[in-house]
Amino acid sequence: MKRDTILFDLDGTLINTNELIIASFLYTLDKYFPEQYNREHILPLMGMPLVETMEQFDKEKVQELVQTYREHNISHHDELVTEFKGVFETVEKLYNKGYKLGIVTTKMRNTVEMGLKLVGLDKFFETVVTLDDVEKAKPDPEPILKALTLLQSSPEHAIMVGDSKYDILAGQNAGTLTAGVAWTIRGNDYLQQFNPDYMLNEMTDLLDVLGER
């Protein structure tokens, strides 16, 4: 069956927000827990909803931690965010060929829009499902199923593309095919453990998967 619907995670998949995320975590954690945490503590947590992540550090101060993180993240966004190789040309080609394109992310809508606009991808996505739009985040299938409903599509016609286990598991739970990206900050071997249907070495490989190159 032809796959005509492609859902993408955002951070770490379409745009490189890795250093922004790490810097925002380090700034926040150092403010509240000086010299207790470093980069290695943060990497395993990337991809989770922010509130859930901060609960692991201090359940009593979650809102303070989240607020501090978001203020740092927004103020340094444009200087630290970049696009991954091959992303724009791939998304543009799929858009021009009539594919249904959506974003499924655990970010809040305002920072999603900032990222898409910064790299010029905002014009390609008909549907964007953010943390604001669902009750349960990835790996629950709810965000993916919502995006498919909005795109008037179904799991049998879709591929979920992402850089974390939450993306792969969410796609599997929703019944879509899944594609992991080898540029995940956790490493190719790590993501392979979750058995995505495809691994993309760069985003243009998606065109091969779809028979478009």
25 within 8 A of 44, measured Cβ to Cβ: no
Q: Which of 9, 11, 167, 205 is an active site residue?
A: 9
Q: CATH topology of 5-16+83-209 equal to that of 18-80?
A: no
Give the chain's mean pLDDT.
95
Q: Distance (Å, rounded) from C-alpha 108 to C-alpha 123?
A: 19
User: What pLDDT was estimated at residue 84?
Assistant: 94
Give just the sign of the alpha carbon dihedral 78, 135, 95, 46.
Answer: positive
3-state secondary structure of 136: coil
Please name which of 131, 128, 147, 138 lies closest in space to residue 168, comparing C-alpha atoms.
138
44 within 8 A of 140, measured Cβ to Cβ: no
Those residues whose C-beta lies under 8 Å from the C-beta of residue 67, and which sit 6 or more positions away, are none
In the chain, the percentage of residues whose pLDDT exceeds 70 is: 100
173 within 8 A of 145, measured Cβ to Cβ: no
**Order of strands across the sheet that contains 127-129:** 127-129, 100-104, 5-8, 158-162, 177-181, 198-200
Please name which of 59, 58, 71 lies closest in space to residue 32, comparing C-alpha atoms.
58
The structure's pTM equals 0.91
Residue 16 has pLDDT above 90, yes or no: yes
Give φ, ψ of 121 to 5 degrees.
-95, -5
| 133 included as an active-site residue | no
User: What pLDDT was estimated at residue 34?
Assistant: 94
User: What pLDDT was estimated at residue 125?
Assistant: 97
Q: Render pLDDT for 33-54 as a digit per residue (tens, 0 to 9).
A: 999 999 999 988 887 889 999 9
In the chain, the percentage of residues whose pLDDT exceeds 90 is: 91
* CATH, range 18-80: 1.10.150
The more confidently predicted of residues 100 and 43 is 100
* CATH, range 5-16+83-209: 3.40.50.1000
User: What average pLDDT does range 100-121 have in this prediction?
Assistant: 95
Q: Render pLDDT for 135-189 as a digit per residue (tens, 0 to 9).
A: 999 999 999 999 999 999 999 999 999 999 999 999 999 999 999 999 999 889 9
Give Cα 134 distance to the centre of its chain. 15
Torsion of CA 20, 180, 203, 17, to 10 degrees: 0
Question: From its phi and psi, is residue 47 left (phi > 0), alpha (psi between -120 and 50) or beta?
Answer: left
Parse the chain into domains and list their residue ranges: 5-16+83-209, 18-80
User: What average pLDDT does range 62-67 have in this prediction?
Assistant: 96
User: What pLDDT was estimated at residue 186?
Assistant: 87
Q: Distance (Å, rounded) from C-alpha 92 to C-alpha 199?
A: 20
